[in-house]
Each structure stands twice: as structure tokens, then as C-alpha cells.
Structure 1
Amino acid sequence: MGLKRLTQLGVPVGIVMIVVMLVVPLPAVLLDLLIAANITGGLLVLLTAMFVVRPLDFASFPAVLLVMTLFRLALNVSATRLVLVDGYAGKVIETFGHFVVGGSLIVGLIIFAILLVIQFMVITKGAERVAEVGARFTLDAMPGKQMAIDADLNSGLIDEDEARRRRAEVHAEADFYGAMDGASKFVKGDAIAAIIITVVNLLGGFAIGMTQMGLSPADAISTYSLLSVGDGLVSQIPALLMSVATGLIVTRSAGEGDMGSDIIRQMTARKLPLQVAGFAAMTICLIPGLPKIPFLLTGGVLLLISTRAESEKPTKSAAEAAVAEVTSRTDDSPEGLAAEIQVDPLGLELSADLIDLVDTTSGGDLLERVKALRRKVAAEIGVVVPPVRTRDNLELPARTYAIKLFDVEVARGEAPHGCVLAIGDMLGSLPGEPTREPVFGLEAKWIPSELRSQAELSGATVVDRAAVITTHLAEVVSTHAGRLLGREDVKMLTEVVKRSHPNVVEELTPAMLSLGEVQRVLQTLLDEGVSIRDLVRIFESLSLRAQATKDLDSLVEAARGALGPAIVAPHVTDGTVHVISFEPQFEQRMLESLRPSDQGSMIVLDPLTAQAAVGSVAQLMVDAENRGIRPVLVCAPQLRTAVRRLVHTAVDRLPVLAYTELTGTAQVRSAGVVSTDAAHNQLMEATA
């Protein structure tokens, strides 16, 4: 506990002491100790910047840079006070001054000026520019990175916790580069202050030496130039270290290890560049007048290193390796043939040039994403998706994939090799092939992978090929979840519920409903976009309704009534659900027209009225979506199933809810009303 408390108070107390140093004179011995600590601290910061793997691993660097700069300026003020008052500022400054000035004052001043130019014009200016550009690019790329995280989350590649961690990392990266942009100004200001302080020490020391100390002009120049240069040097060494650390941090890109390891590994990884450089160094020896030994040594060292570097070996084609992995072995046994003729509930077929997506040796992770997708679908809608059989299909056109349901193709898309999908409205400046996003039909463009960063900076959402396929697959699974729910799946789900709620299952099946009847109810709920995760409440409601009737529509409505808040929740935005409703007189007319049939209850209206009503509903939905609203259609509970059958073929993506299901919703707002007159007028305008 004491160590933790000391850690919390260490930096605040240190900053207070730095401020005190600006006012209170320091003895020369204490100044020597603080100068040594300053140089050592600068070296520690530099080495820390070199050994971090990512810039965010040293996220406190901007604050460290400010504190170290303030500390160094406080030392400058203290040293200047001692130089001008006593003509002596400790052994460290005196020794550094003698070391640089030596026997020639002019040479010493020139060397000191060169150090200032190196720090100010080269390192500081470069680090400042890189920090500024890095901050701007990082902030501009934030929306694209956030949408890429959402795309990975929707495709099932990552879970909510990983998405939350990545979003926090994106925000931390933006904050870091923004802070570095400002902190680099401290380095620049520190370099300017060092020049001014050195000039003040030279001129002030010369004047004080002649007027107050009684020194001759030559002695005054010699004494105070030595102290001024020494003071400037002991402050510029740690300043130079901090400037280099700043440059290293802002130019550091993510790698597998620290900077030193990455540089050595990458520069010595290929034999050919080392051999060419070594022979070139030896060839320079042929130029007359040049010394031979230095170039022979450097060329020989490079050639020696090249003998330990690995040559680039031809590897097996990724497509060949993946085909071998994906394609099943031929088995002529009866069991093998029986397995071959079985129809897979869900299949994904890839053209030959898309096999790299499932080749793990070349970075393909499509199979892992599909596994993650199965977990995601199970968590969202409560259905255990059958394994997705992935195989190659040489009959598919190049760059094409096909999604099959019970061996029947239900969707097809493209995923060109070497491209990513950019989704957005501002894609005109990007080269590529225009297309439509396969799930929502948004404007998109397949662009070369190397333009990904440029597309993100322009505000587009960029999705890789595997994410496009898994997102498309997820949409197909959600749309056809009812068909994918088999009898065995229902039995398995029932057994799971029975372990925790045995009485609920024993009361329902087989006493009241057979497993097939329960399956039909669950399939209908899935077809209407309702999650069946809460099987306990579904089974309880079915048990109560099955005592009176086994009519499918009645059973479905009973289950929906138990799930009311959960059904409405996905359609609530900012505490509001936007609804399209029917005019009371028209709704009463539909109630009077309700008739039973073999397919369930139907609304029997004359064709023109039915067509006009459906058209009016479709138009109101389009108008609402154009305003950025996702509406639902509401009606009386007795009408809900029949209304859905009426409008489903024309507006299949419009949910149909009963009034009773809106109970508990924060606020209900009208997005339009369907009336008989408005419907007929719209129909007349369309036919005209």
C-alpha cells in the first residue's frame, strides 16, 4: 500500500519541485545531481521508445515529454543563475564546457551550433511534421475503423467484448496521436529556448564579467563562453535524446517485436539485397585514390551476413493446398456413397480462384469466420445452425461464390481476388469496379487492397472479401432460419430446456402438442423474424393455449404475446417505435372480411382494394425509410397473422405487430395511416 501511495504522489510532488526550482537557487552540488538525473532520464525514455512494440504501449509519452521538458528548462534557469551570479555552475557543466571547447573557443561554439541545428532543423522539425500528419490521418480514419469493427462484429468474426476492446483502442490511438501533435510543439519550443538561453548566458556573462567581476574582455569571454557552452550542452544532450524518442514513437508502426529486432530481422531477411550491397562496396575499391580496407571490410561483413540469410524458396500454390484441404477424398464404399448423396442443409461453394480464402497457410480465415457466425446466430435467434459445408466448384465463374440451402442455390455473389469492398456514397475518386453490397443493396465498389487506407480516409466503410461472404451468409441464414430448424434440432432444444425446467417440457410435449407441432410454431416465429431463445416462456404460453386449441395461428399469437417486449425491442430507436397503422373504419372492414382457410386466416377483399392497401403500405414504408425511420405495421391482434400474409409478398422486410405487443414501449409515433380513400387514390394515380 505504501509503494502504491508513493507511486501516486511521486509525479505530482516532482512537478511541484520543478516549479520551485524556477524560483529558489540551487547549490552547485545538487545541480550536478539533477543534471545527471536529467541525462539518465532522457536515455531511459529513448530506450523505452525503442523497445515498445506499439506506440500505445508507451501511451504516457506525451505527458513524460512535457514533464522532462519542464525539468530541463528549470535546470537551465538554475544553471543560468549560478553562471551569472557566481561564475561557477558545478563540475558537470564545467567538464562538459572544457570537453567541447577544448583549446579553441571558436571550434567549441561551432560544434555547439551544429548540435542545435541537428536537433532543431532535422529531428525536431521532422518529428513535429510526422506527429501532425499522424494525428490528422488517425482522426480521419476513425469512422472507417469503427465501421470495420462493426463489420467484423456483424460477420461473427469477433464478439462484443473484442469489439468493445478494439473501439477503445481506436479511441486511445486517436487520443495518443492528438496528444503527440501538441507534445511535439514542446520539443520545438525547448530547442528555441535553448538557443535563447545560451545567447543570454554568453552576452550576460560577458557583461557581468567585465562590469562586476573586473575581468578583462579576453578572460570574460573565455570563462563565460566555457560555462555557457557547458550549460547548453548538458541541456541539449537530454533534449536531443527526447527529440529522437519523439521521432521514434511517431514513426513507429505495429510489428511483431521491438524496433531493434524488427529492423535487424527485416534488413537481413533476404539474401539478394545483402549480396548486391556487399559486392557494390567491394567494387568501389576500384576507384583510384579511395582507401581499400574500409570498403573491403564493410563489403565482406555484408557478404558474411548474406550467407546466414534465407533464400526465397518457391512454395506450393495456395490454391493447390486449399483444394487438397477442402475437397473430400473419394470413397467408393457404401457408407461413403451414402454420405455423398445426403443433402447438406447449408452449403458454401467457391470458385477456384477463391480457395485462398480457406487456405490458412496464406492467411485465409473464412472457415474460422463461418464457425464464429454459427455461434453468433445461435446467440441472437436461438437456432443452432447446421455445419456449413464449404467446397470448391469448378463450374462457378471466376471470383464467384454461391450459397446453397438443401442443395438449392439461394444466393450468389462475387469476391474478386486482391480487392476489398468499399461501401459509401463518395467513391467516385477511387478506381475500381462499381457494384452493390449483397445484403442491403448499398452502393459499393471493389477497389484494390492497397487503396484500403485511402478509402477509409474518404469516409467509406471497407470490408474484406471474407467479411462480405460471411455477412451474406448470415443474412441468408437469418432469412431462412425457419427452414433450417429441423425436427432433430427441436428435439435437442427441448432436451436442453428439460434439464433446467423439466415440468414445462413434460406438460407441453407429448401430452398437449407433438414435437412436429412445436416445430411448426417455432418455424413460424423464425419466419417472422422473432428470436426463439426464450424457449421457457414460449413453451409455457403454448401449454396454456393448447388446452383450448391447436390452431397454428392461435399458438403463434400466444407465443408472441409472451415475447411482446422482446419482439418490439429491435424496432425501438431512442425510446421510440414508429408505426404504420390502418384507419379504424378500414381495419373494421378487414375484421369483417376475415375468413378461415387451410393456410390460416385470410382477409377476403376485392382485388382492387387489396392491391391499393398493399401499395399504400409499401409507399408509406418507403417514405419513412427516406426520412431515416424504420417503421413497423401494427393492427388488431385478430388481424395480425392475416395482414402479414396479405402484405408479405410486396413488403417482406416490414414487420407486422399487434397492438398488444407494443405494451411497455416508451413512445409510439405514427409514420403514416392506411385509409381506403388514400389507397384508392394512389392506385388510380399508378394506373393512370
Structure 2
Amino acid sequence: MRAQKLSQYVVPVGVIMIIIMMVVPLPPLLLDLLIALNITFALLVLLVSMYVKRPLDFSVFPSLLLVATLFRLALNISATRLVLLDGFAGKVIDAFGHFVVGGSLVVGLVIFLILIVIQFLVITKGAERVAEVGARFTLDAMPGKQMAIDADLNAGLIDEAEARRRRGEVAAEADFYGAMDGASKFVKGDAIAAIVITIVNLVGGFIIGMVQKGMAPGDAVNHYSLLSVGDGLVSQIPALLMSVATGLIVTRSATEGDLGGTVAGQLGAHKRALQIGGAAVLALCLIPGLPKLPFILVGGLVLGVASRLKAPAAEVTEEAGPTEPTPAEVTEALITEMRVDPLELALAPDLIDLVDTGDLLDRVRALRRKVALELGIVMPPVRTRDDLDLPLSSYAVRISGVDAGSGHAPPGTVLAIGEGLGNLPGRAGTEPVFGLAGKWIPAELSYQAELSGATVVDRASVVITHLAEVVRANASRLLGREDVRALTEMVKRTHPVVVEELTPALLSHGQIQKVLQSLLEEGVAIRDLVRIFEALSLRAKVSTDHDGLVEAARGALGPAIANAQADNGVLSVLTLDPQLEQIMLESVRPVESGAFLALDANTAEAVVASTTRLAEAAEQQGHTPVLACSPPLRAPLYRLLRSGGRNQIVLSYPELAGAPARIETMGVVNGVYAGIA
């Protein structure tokens, strides 16, 4: 813990000390120590850049490059101060000025200029260009990478945590290459500053030597020039190391390994190339006038290395023949192909642009959140794929491999809904959810269609709206046993007593699933699981009859169920004739699959026909009525109407009692005739 706290202060304190170095004179001994530290630091950065597996593993490199450049410039300023004031800047600079360049001013200047050219024109210029292109390509590729992550998430290949991690990597990669594009300018500026500082040292030392120290011109030039060149070499060696490290970082590809291992592995994978290269080097010995020994040694070494390498994988495979997959691999592949996706969106080949260039996947993700907040279930991941068997411009929504809805969305068009579209080109179409007539017109004519009073809907909106309707209509089929377990665990985290009392002591997950599916089948949201579980716990202590459990849950949700059917605070209701209701109550027969009405065929048909006529008459007046009845009759009456082709919402009297809306009676259902109230 102490080491971690100390590390938090090292860099800030170091940067402050670097600034102080530019102002406060340093003794020669301390300058020697800091020069050695500078060279060591640059060498360590170079080695680390070779051993990192990915550039992002050394993401702090741009900041280190700035600090190292600042440190090196501070050393140059300190050395210049000592050279001009004392004519001596420490033993390290003196050694570089005399021993390394042999005490020759010309040799020192030549070596210094060569280092500057190598660093500035070769390494720095190339690294700067690679960093600029890398930053541009990384930013251009970000949308595609984000879409690929969203596609994997929506297909269920990865979870939300993995998707966040990948998005973080994409953003970090863009930030890194953008930072490297700017950091490479530091190296370029450092090389220019080194030239300027060396020229200043040469001119300033010559003037100080002659004017202040009374030295002869030759002695002044020789003494101060060697120190200036020594200072330049001392600063350019770590600068060159940092430039090489910059080039290595920005030129690394996406290989999972360090530089040395990658180079050895990839060169060693081409044994034949090494053999040909070694033989070519040996052949150079045949040229008259060339020395034989160097080429024999190098060529023999290359051939020796090639002889110790294993045969490339491609050659081994070619000699051994194609390898057959193992039974385990075949079984795993078959199991993967057999797996049926709970929810699938199949697109014709010409509709793939909705995924590649559109925002379809973003809308699917938004739909999952909307369904969760609306119905209280976690919509399964939507596997979006192309299907060559589909007709062009069509799509299909499938639940457990079975088509649950289909439609058309021709490329380059939008759906215009309304009248007055006869003068616009296109082909007739239908809005898949509400069945509204429209026309698929070219996208560039959207403005003209809107001027004519039509509603214009883009293709992605049509597909998503259709998908949402299919999900709502089949929510009960999409709620699996594993989903129920996950929802139960969610409730347990906040209300552990409720869950522990209910399951597994009273009801199993399977029984809870059937209750929740029945609620969803009638359009009842199951978001309030705490209230549902509490009601089930009380009812299960008396009986585990399925209809009874469902009615108990509906009773707990009664106000919410009734309020969801209200329109502007008014709940339109159809009621049953009292005599008919009594007859129906006496005909209720409980069975294992749920209670039903044992009515004669004529009465059952009359009830369905009467309900249909009353509901349609109310709908013509702008109301969507619900049918009210006593609790024991609600479930079997709903089944009767549904079997007769009427998807009528049926509520019990207790559910209406808690409704905050005003109740308005729209009619009375009679088994013989229909009477409008």
C-alpha cells in the first residue's frame, strides 16, 4: 500500500523537479547522474515497447514521451549553463566529447549530424506518418467496430459486460492512436531543438572563450566545440532510443505476442526462404574481388538456422493429407447448428444494408429496454442474419424457428401512409402492424409525400415496429424457465422473504412460469413481481389451481390492469346480462388445463356474436371497451371468446373496483340479442 501511494507522487514531483532544473544551476556530479538516468530510462522504454503484446498494453507511452522530452531539454539547458559558465559540464559530457569521438571536432560534428538525420528524417518522419494514418484509420473504423459489438450482443454471443469491455477497448484504441499522432510531434520538435541548442553552444562558447576567458581562437573553438558536441551526443542517444520506441509502438500490428517472439516465429515459419537466402549469400563468394570469409560465415549461419527449423505447417499438412475433424468437434458443430434461437430476424440478402449502414441494431437494443419496462420481461437477444431463401426485399420474424410475422422493406424506399399518393411512383404496400394501406416510394421523394399529407416511415422503423408487435403478441412464448429463475433472483436481492416463502416451498419455477405466461398472454405486464409473488404465496397455501393462482395475481394487480385500459381517464365497459351470467356461472367446469364453459353451441355462438357487435359499435364511437364479469367466470369466458375469434379483454369486478378511471357502460351482452345501452 505504501509503494502504491508513493508511486502516485513520483510523476508529479518529477515534472516539478524538471521545471526547477531549467532555472536552478546543477552541479556537474548531479548532472552526470541525471544524464545516466536519462539514458537508462530511454533504454527501458525501448525494451518495454518490444515486449508489449499490444500497443494498448503500453497506453501511457504518449505521456511518457512528453515527460522524457521535457527531461532531456532540461538536461540540455543545465549542460549549456555549465559549459558556458565553467567550461566543464561533468565527466559524462567530457568523455563523449573526447573519448567517444576521439577528440576530433570534425568527427564529433559528423556523428552528431548523422544521428540527427537518422532520427529526424528516417525514424521520426516515418513514425509521425504511421501515427497519423493509424489515428485516421482507427477513427474511421470505430462505427464498424461498434456495430460488430452490438451485433454480437444482440445475437447473444457476448453478454453486456463483455460488450462494455470491447467498447472500452475500441475507445481506448482511438484515444491511444490520436495521442500518438500528437506525441510524435514532440520527437520531431526535440530533434529540431537539439540542432538549435548545439549551434547556440558552439557560437556562445566561441565568444565566451575569446572575450571573457582570453583564449586563443583555436583553443576556444576546440575546447567549447568538443563540449558542445559531447552534450549533443549525450542528448541524442536517448532521443534516438525514444524515437525507435515510438516507431515500434505505432507500427505494431494486432499480434498476440512480443516483438522478438513474433519476428522469430514468422521468419522461422518460412524455412524455404531462409534456405534460398543462405545459398544466395554463399553464391556471392563466386564474384571476383569480394572477400570470401564474411559471406561464407553469414551464409553458413543462415543455412544452419534453416536446417534446425521444423517444416512449415502448410507443408506438413500437405504431406500428411487433410486432417479429419475429431468426433467431439463434429458433435459440437452439430449441436451448434441444431440450436434454435428464441427470437430471430431474418433479412433477404438485399436488406443487409439495414445492419451494415443503418441503425437497426441500435433500435433493437432500444426495443429490448422498452419491452422490459413495458411488459416486465427481458426480451431474448435478437439474432439478425441473412436468409437466402427469403424473397428479395422481404424479412421474417421467427420465434423458436417458426415464422411469427413477415413483411417487405424494398431498398432505397420509404413507406408513405395516407391518401393522395397516386401521383408518386412506387408500389403499393401495407403497414404490417395496423394494416394501413400505403406505398413504398423512393426515399428522395419523402418531402413530396409529406407535403401531400402522408406519413413517411423509414424501412428500419417499419421492421422494428413489426418486431415489437410480434414480441408483445408472443411475450408468453418468449418467457422461458431460465428467465423466470433470473427474475426470481432479481426479486430475491431486494425482497428475500417474499421469494423464500413462495419457492420452492409452495410453487416451483415451472408453476410460476405458467402463471406469468397466462398474465402476459392477456397483455398484463409482470413488472410488479413483488406484488405478484405475495399474492401467489397467499393463494398457494389454499390451492395451487392454475386459474386460481392467475386470478390471485390479477387481483393484486387490479388497479394497474384496469388503468392500462382507460382512455383519458374513462374506462369503457361491457357487462353481462344477469340472467346470462348466472347461466354461465352454473356451466363452469374445472379441468386440469383450466376451467371452461359447458354451454350449448347456440348460446356460446350468441355470446360471441353479441360481444363482437357491441365491441365494434363502441369502437366506431372511438372507444375500446372491456368486458366485465364475476371472478370465477373471467378466465373461462376469455377462453370462449378467444376460441370464437374475438381477442376481447375480460376483467373481473374486483379489478374494476380499484380502477382510478371513471367507468362508462357501453352495452350489455345477452345470449339471444345485443342491446346497446
Normalized against structure 1, the TM-score is what?
A: 0.59
The correspondence of residues 352-367 of structure 1 with structure 2, limited to 5 A, is none
Match of 2:462 in 1: none
Distance (whole Å) between structure 1 residues aligned to residue 44 and residue 651 of structure 2? 66
| Equivalent position SS for 1:73 | helix
C-alpha displacement at 1:487, in angstroms? 10
Between 1:142-151 and 1:196-205, the stretch displaced more is 142-151
Alpha-carbon distance change, 536 to 31 in structure 1, aligned in 2, over 3 angstroms: closer
In the TM superposition, what are the counterparts of 1:14-413 in structure 2 within 5 Å?
14-102=14-102, 104-307=104-307, 308-311=309-312, 312=314, 313-314=316-317, 316=322, 324-325=330-331, 381=377, 410=403
1:234 Cα deviation after fit: 0.0
Q: Quick one: which amino acid aligns to residue 550 of structure 2?
A: L
1:522 aligns with 2:528: no
- Identical residues among aligned pairs (%): 56
- Rounded to whole Å, the distance in 1 between the matches of 2:147 and 2:397 is 25
Residues 1:65 and 1:556: Cα distance change in structure 2 (over 3 Å) = farther
CA distance in 2, matches of 1:487, 1:212: 94
Of residues 497, 501, 504, the one that matches 2:502 is 504
Deviation at 1:410, TM superposition (A): 4.5
Distance in 1, matches of 2:107 and 2:485, equals 92
The partner residue of 2:612 within 599, 604, 607 is 604
Q: Counterpart of 2:553? A: 558
Would the aligned equivalents of 2:498 and 2:530 in 1 still touch at CA under 8 Å? no
Q: Distance in 1 between matches of 2:486 and 2:60?
A: 53
1:581-602 CA-to-partner distances (Å, cap 9, x unmatched) read: 85788x6377899999889999
Partner of 1:671: none
Question: Aligned in 2, Cα 1:75/1:580: closer, same or farther, shift over 3 Å?
Answer: farther
Aligned pair in 2 of structure 1 residues 193, 318: CA closer, same or farther (>3 Å)? farther
Whole-Å Cα distance in 1 between the matches of residues 544 and 327 of structure 2?
A: 58
Q: Distance in 2 between matches of 1:239 and 1:548?
A: 83
> Quick one: which amino acid aligns to residue 322 of structure 2?
K
Deviation, 1:125, is: 1.5
CA distance in 2, matches of 1:149, 1:411: 27
CA distance in 1, matches of 2:36, 2:482: 76
The change in CA–CA distance for 1:40 and 1:478 in structure 2 (over 3 A counts) is farther
C-alpha contact 1:382 1:531 (8 A) present in aligned 2: no
* Contact 2:566–2:572 (8 Å) recurs in 1: no
For 2:263 and 2:271, how far apart are their aligned partners in 1?
A: 15
Give distance in 1, aligned partners of 2:558 and 2:282: 81
Distance 1:487 1:80 in 2: 78
Tell whether the 8 Å contact from 1:271 to 1:310 is kept in structure 2 after alignment: yes
Contact 2:572 / 2:625 at 8 angstroms: preserved in 1? no
Deviation at residue 97 of structure 1 after TM alignment: 1.4
Q: What corresponds to 1:460 in structure 2?
A: none
TM-superposed CA distance for 1:115, in Å, is: 0.6
Query: Of 550, 557, 572, which aligns to 1:588?
Result: 572
Alignment correspondent of 1:334: none
CA contact (8 A) 2:628 2:650 kept: no
What corresponds to 1:419 in structure 2?
none
Question: After superposition, where does 1:476-487 map in structure 2 within 5 Å?
Answer: 482-483=476-477
Following the alignment from structure 2 to structure 1, what is the Cα–Cα distance between the partners of residues 638 and 227? 93
Q: Structure 1, residues 172-212: CA drift from partner, whole Å, max 9, x if none?
A: 33332232222222111111110100011111112222222
| CA displacement at 1:529 relative to structure 2 | 8.3
Read off the aligned partner of 1:238 and give its amino acid letter. P
String of CA shifts for 1:569-618, please: whole Å, max 9, x gaps.
Answer: xxxxxxxxxx9985788x637789999988999961489879989xx99x
The answer to whether the Cα contact below 8 Å between 2:405 and 2:470 also exists between their aligned partners in 1 is: no
DSSP-derived class of the 1:604 partner: helix
Inter-partner Cα distance in structure 2 for 1:82 and 1:644 = 99
* Per-residue CA distance 1:202-233 (angstroms, 9 max, x = gap): 11112222222222222222112211110000
Please say which of residues 134-143 and 600-609 is displaced more in the overlay: 600-609
Q: How far apart are 1:550 and its partner, in Å?
A: 7.6
- Distance verdict in 2 for CA 1:82–1:557, change over 3 Å: same
Check the 8 A contact 1:525/1:556 in 2, yes or no: no
- 2-structure distance, mates of 1:33, 1:507: 76
What per-residue deviation string (whole Å, max 9, x for no partner) do you get for residues 252-282 of structure 1?
Answer: 2333322111111121123222223223333
**Counterpart residue type for residue 180 of structure 1:** M
Q: CA deviation at 1:3?
A: 3.4
Provide the aligned length of Structure 1 versus Structure 2. 511
Amino acid at match of 1:522: L
Once the two structures are superposed, the pairs formed by residues 638-657 of structure 1 within 5 Å of their partners are none
CA-to-partner distance for each residue in 1:293-320, whole Å, 9 max, x for gaps? 3333333322222232332222636778
TM-score of the pair, normalised by structure 2? 0.60
Secondary structure of the structure 1 residue equivalent to 2:297: helix
Q: Name the CA shift for 1:165/1:36 in 2 (closer, same or farther; >3 Å).
A: same
Q: Is the 8 A contact 1:187 1:243 kept in 2?
A: yes
Unaligned runs of 5+ in 1: 330-342, 349-376, 386-394, 397-401, 414-423, 426-439, 441-472, 568-578, 618-633, 664-688
Return closer, same or farther for 1:23/1:217 CA change in 2, 3 Å cut-off. Answer: same
Cα 1:47–1:520 shift into 2, 3 Å: closer
Q: Which SS does the other structure have where 1:280 is aligned?
A: helix
Distance in 1 (CA, whole Å) between partners of 2:482 and 2:38 is 73
Tell me the SS of whatever aligns to 1:588: strand
Report the CA distance shift for 1:76/1:323 in structure 2 as closer, same or farther (over 3 A): closer
- Give, in whole Å, the separation in 2 of the partners of 1:184 and 1:530: 61
Q: Which residue of 2 aligns with 1:624?
A: none
Task: After superposition, give the CA deviation of every residue in 1:30-80 in whole Å (9 maximum; x if it has no partner).
Answer: 211111111111111111111112222222222221111111111101111
Distance 1:609 1:123, change over 3 A: farther
What is the distance in 1 between the residues matched to 2:475 and 2:575? 31
CA distance in structure 1 between the aligned counterparts of 2:251 and 2:558, rounded to whole angstroms: 54
Judged with a 3 Å threshold, the aligned counterparts in structure 2 of structure 1 residues 278 and 484 are, in CA distance, closer, same or farther, namely same
Rounded Cα–Cα distance in structure 2 between residues aligned with 1:93 and 1:515: 83
Which AA in structure 2 matches 1:16? I
Code of the aligned partner of 2:102: G
- Superposed CA deviations along residues 520-547 of structure 1, whole A, max 9, x for unmatched, are 5333345578887987754543466798
Partner SS, residue 40 of structure 2 = helix
Distance 1:194 1:410, change over 3 A: same
Q: Following TM superposition, by how much is the alpha carbon of 1:558 offset from its aligned partner in structure 2, in angstroms? A: 3.4
How far apart in 1 are the matches of 2:9 and 2:485? Answer: 63
CA contact (8 A) 1:542 1:559 kept: no
Report if the CA contact (8 A) 2:138-2:174 is conserved. yes
Amino acid at match of 1:273: A
Alpha carbons 1:346, 1:403 under 8 Å: kept:
no
Tell whether the 8 Å contact from 1:507 to 1:543 is kept in structure 2 after alignment. no
| C-alpha distance in structure 1 between counterparts of 2:470 and 2:303, whole Å | 58
- Structure 2's unaligned 5+ residue stretches are 344-371, 382-388, 391-395, 413-432, 434-466, 585-596, 598-603, 659-677
Whose Rg is larger? 2
